């Protein structure tokens, strides 16, 4: 019984080490993009309005996914940039049936409206997915203008 327990324990340790090494290797390929550096504060204010606060870095949906939040003084409220590894494209976007394709932003891009997120712009370029979310009736043109600036910086 003790030998069997020891063998199971050793097998568990081997699997744990293997998973840790594999995970670290996968993380090493994660996009080195900081969403808070994709537009400057002055570009943000010129395109979307006067900021109350931000950029404020954070994480989203996992440790390799990063976010950056901007809060506006006006009714636009909050704009969030999120950066994800490109291999998550189908996972994040596969369920979105109603979306408007956008040309000229990365390899593929689309806009969609969400009852919880407001207006979202999703784009994929190389190893990076960029997601922009803004609750505003006039969000589409603002998000496109911000995405055009951001996509040149990764």
Tell me what the pLDDT averaged over the chain comes to. 80
- What per-residue confidence (pLDDT) applies to 1? 58
Which residues neighbour 148 within 8 Å (Cβ) at sequence distance 6 or greater? Answer: 104, 105
The answer to whether residues 83 and 35 touch, using CB atoms and an 8 Å cutoff, is yes
> How far is 9 from 15, CA to CA, in rounded Å?
10
pTM: 0.76
Instruction: Provide mean pLDDT across the span 107-127.
Output: 90
Distance of CA 40 to the CA centre of its chain: 18
Q: With 50 as the cut, is the pLDDT of residue 14 above it?
A: no
Encode pLDDT of 21-51 as tens digits: 334 434 445 557 899 999 999 999 999 989 9
- What per-residue confidence (pLDDT) applies to 62? 64
């Amino acid at each position: 019984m003790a030998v069997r327990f020891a063998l199971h324990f050793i097998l568990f340790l081997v699997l744990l080490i293997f998973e840790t090494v594999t995970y670290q290797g996968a993380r090493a390929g994660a996009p080195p993009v900081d969403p808070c550096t994709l537009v400057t504060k002055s570009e943000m204010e010129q395109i979307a309005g006067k900021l109350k606060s931000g950029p404020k870095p954070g994480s989203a949906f996992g440790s390799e996914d990063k976010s950056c939040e901007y809060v506006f003084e006006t009714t636009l409220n909050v704009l969030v940039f999120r950066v994800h590894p490109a291999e998550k494209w189908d996972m994040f976007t596969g369920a979105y049936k109603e979306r408007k394709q956008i040309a000229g932003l990365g390899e593929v891009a689309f806009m969609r409206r969400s009852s919880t997120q407001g207006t979202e712009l999703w784009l994929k370029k190389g190893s990076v997915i960029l997601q922009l979310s803004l609750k505003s009736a006039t969000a589409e043109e603002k998000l496109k203008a911000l995405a055009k600036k951001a996509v040149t910086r990764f």
